[in-house]
Amino acid sequence: MSWTRRKFIGVAASLSLSARIPAAAGRLPDAAPGYRRIAVEEAFATPELLEDWRQFLARAKDEDPAFFSLYSGLLTSPGARNLRERLNDVGRGRIRVMDRWGVDMQVLSLTAPGVQLYPPKKGAATASEINTRLAAIVAEYPDRFAGLAAVAPQAPAQAAREIERAVTVLGLRGVLINSHTRGKYLDDRDYWPIFEAAEALGVPVYLHPNTPSPQMAEPYLDYGLAGPGWGFAAETGLHAVRLILSGLLDACPGTRIILGHMGEGLPFWLHRLDSRFDLFARADRTGRVKRLRKKPGDYIRDNFLITTSGMPWPPALMLAREVMGPDRIMFAIDYPYESSREAVRAMDEAPLSREDRTKIYSQNATRLFRLPPGPGAGQVEASA
Ligand code: MN
């Protein structure tokens, strides 16, 4: 038994952690791997917000059926209590899990669908409250947490102002939006001020999944398709392609968009997006596709970064590395929905060079989010 494991068992016993953390399976990660592990799509919630969503469930059955199909379990079932507690824990319990699996830092964001369920005024006000709270969490553990702001796209002008406040006043590192907002997509020009604000501040926009929008929900309701196994990627991948084809990235060429889940299918699809580009242009009702300066794949390589959240699978990682390059991939777990152990193990064991592994685990995130260099950062450079 390694020293790290003995130490963990001792700590767990003294803190009665065994009820909250699944039994150890597989080996613990190397405690001193020579690189930091920064996970960039890590979810939290507040008990008040979860209660608020519970109230919305009755109406959601008609208004937002995919949300209802996935979230009624998460919000009400006794079996998901542990998950709800983990979402709400942004202190020592979460840090113990990070320590156990060798995760140095989590970049936190409000869990989906964030404030995007609400009418504009309430959405904007809730986003501000959450961002202030998130800044306080980060201030308490500045070397373990950083944060991405929540905004309410349904109030675009306020959202743009809130991004500025979140970055310049609160020190948050970017913004995270959970795909569609009550069926509206961000390629609509009404929402471009959000991207203009992020571009001007030099911060990225994380386009996180949401359950399929009301207008595409119906075929996802059978078989439980609305969630992470399929519907999230279908919804968010569609959203990303809409953004690319809308001309947004010609208007705001400095925009950086992050996609989780190994790019929501786009790296795999990249060749076909380009090879059938003429058909997009021919069938386009908006007339915008013809005016694009580049092909879809060029925007994906120039403006997008992807993360490994929920995809602890080396074959997908190696394909993404091949088509996106090692500078455009970041490590993420999707805590607490996904296993930290699986995420770390897949990254530790993927057939990557030490240089690429270091980029994906920490260097790309440190650069993109302008995170403070962690302890041993100089050492990594020296030993790389
Ligand atoms: Mn997530």
DSSP state of 352: -
pLDDT digits (tens, 9 = 90+) for 264-302: 999 999 999 999 999 999 999 999 999 999 999 999 999
20 and 85 Cβ atoms separated by less than 8 Å: yes
Quick check: is 17 in a domain?
Answer: no
Quick check: is 234 in a domain?
Answer: yes
Quick check: is 302 in a domain?
Answer: yes
The closest of 153, 201, 245 to 369, measured between CA atoms, is 201
Quick check: is 375 in a domain?
Answer: no
Between CA 151 and CA 106 the distance in angstroms is 20
Mean residue pLDDT across the chain: 91
Residue 32: predicted pLDDT: 66
Q: Among residues of the chain, what percentage have pLDDT more than 90?
A: 85
| pLDDT confidence band for 58 (50 / 70 / 90) | confident
Q: Is the pLDDT of residue 21 over 70?
A: no
Any idea what the Cα angle at residue 94 is, between residues 88 and 95, rounded to 5°?
A: 145
Cα 356 to averaged position of ligand 1 atoms, centre (Å)? 23
Domain coverage including residue 347: 33-369
- Residue type at position 349: E
Quick check: is 6 in a domain?
Answer: no
62 is catalytic: no
Cα 210 to averaged position of ligand 1 atoms, centre (Å)? 9
Cα 326 to averaged position of ligand 1 atoms, centre (Å)? 22
Residue 219: CB partners within 8 Å, gap ≥ 6? 225
- Beta carbons within 10 angstroms of residue 149's beta carbon: 29
Annotated catalytic residue: which of 274, 334, 348, 356? 334
Cα 312 to averaged position of ligand 1 atoms, centre (Å)? 14
Quick check: is 383 in a domain?
Answer: no
Quick check: is 194 in a domain?
Answer: yes
Quick check: is 75 in a domain?
Answer: yes
Strand (E) positions, 239-361? 257-259, 304-307, 329-330
DSSP state of 215: G
Tell me the CATH number at 294: 3.20.20.140
pLDDT digits (tens, 9 = 90+) for 33-51: 778 999 999 999 999 999 9
Q: Is the pLDDT of residue 378 over 90?
A: no
Cα 42 to averaged position of ligand 1 atoms, centre (Å)? 6
Number of domains forming the structure of the chain: 1
Residue 326: predicted pLDDT: 98
